[in-house]
Amino acid sequence: MIAAFFDIDGTIYREGLITEVFKKMINYEYIDGSQWYSEVRPAYMNWDKRVGDYDTYLLKMVDIYKEAVKGLNAEQMAYVARRVIQQKGERVYTFSRQQIKWHQKEKNKVIAISGSPSELVKEMSKKYEMDDYRGTIYELDEKGYYNGSIVPMWDAVSKRKAILEMVEKYDIDLSKSYAYGDTAGDLTMLSMVGHPYAINPTRELISKINQDEVLRKKINIIVERKDVIYHLDINNLKLID
């Protein structure tokens, strides 16, 4: 079996899904809006102005989200996730959407592996008719309420473990499979397959690819801006400071 592994945030979806769920939780008064202005917005503004990195912003949101969901039940967050995908699920890159459709036409297994909350990843995978998914698990207590503990899926180690689980589950041939990602957290996912694609990659990911001779030889670099899709050759790629 051939598989296609897709990160979501920044790879399929044009920003971060957790940003959208964070805003929705403020609207539903699950999160105090002042936390956005005092704790999250400064990190967001630094990233938006390109003077800070996205990971700092993301981890700040994760910390607040983890505390915000504590005490809520699974049904509440499932509803929020459904609403976010209903309203924002079409905001995706053209290239990634086309690739999902192509893999489905080829009868490949299409699998989402994302650092977003698993509730969101589930709804996104349903929308695009994917075969399976893995996301960050926000754990529940015995009564079905979030307890503040998490099992992350945004780092390279966790994504590698998830792919190995999928290999066993579906008898996947990684040498013939595909992976799509945009950050250093996707590095192992890209390294493990025969056909890796870096979608609008971060500087850190490009740097790590350049340090990996095997990955460098097989990587595809895709950049999508406005209505144009660029396929770049990493050997002729010059990073400007």
Are 71 and 146 within 8 A, CB to CB? Answer: yes
Using CA atoms of 205, 122, 77, 187 in order, give the dihedral in degrees to the nearest 10. Answer: -10
Considering the domain boundaries, does residue 224 fall inside one? yes
111 contact partners, CB below 8 Å, separation of at least 6: 3, 4, 5, 6, 130, 131, 132, 133, 134, 166
Separation between Cα atoms, residue 68 and residue 121, nearest integer Å: 19
Separation between Cα atoms, residue 159 and residue 151, nearest integer Å: 12
Considering the domain boundaries, does residue 171 fall inside one? yes
Considering the domain boundaries, does residue 81 fall inside one? yes
Considering the domain boundaries, does residue 116 fall inside one? yes
103: containing domain: 3-236
Distances (CA, A) of 2 to 66, 127, 169, 171, 172: 35, 21, 12, 9, 6
Quick one: pLDDT at residue 71? 83
Considering the domain boundaries, does residue 191 fall inside one? yes
Quick one: pLDDT at residue 210? 93
Number of domains in the chain: 1
Quick one: pLDDT at residue 4? 98
Residue appearing with tokens 């509440």 = 76
Considering the domain boundaries, does residue 225 fall inside one? yes
Q: What string of pLDDT tens digits covers the 241 residues of the chain?
A: 999 999 999 899 987 787 788 788 888 887 777 766 677 777 777 766 777 777 677 777 777 777 778 888 888 889 989 999 999 999 999 999 999 999 999 999 999 999 888 999 999 999 999 999 999 898 999 988 888 888 888 888 999 999 999 999 999 999 999 999 998 889 999 999 999 999 999 888 999 999 999 999 999 999 999 899 999 999 888 777 7
Quick one: pLDDT at residue 169? 97
Separation between Cα atoms, residue 145 and residue 139, nearest integer Å: 8
- 110, 168, 162, 164: which is closest to 136 by C-alpha? 162
171 in helix, strand or coil? coil
Quick one: pLDDT at residue 17? 81
Considering the domain boundaries, does residue 241 fall inside one? no
CATH of residue 162: 3.40.50.1000
Within 10 Å of residue 154's Cβ, how many Cβ atoms? 22
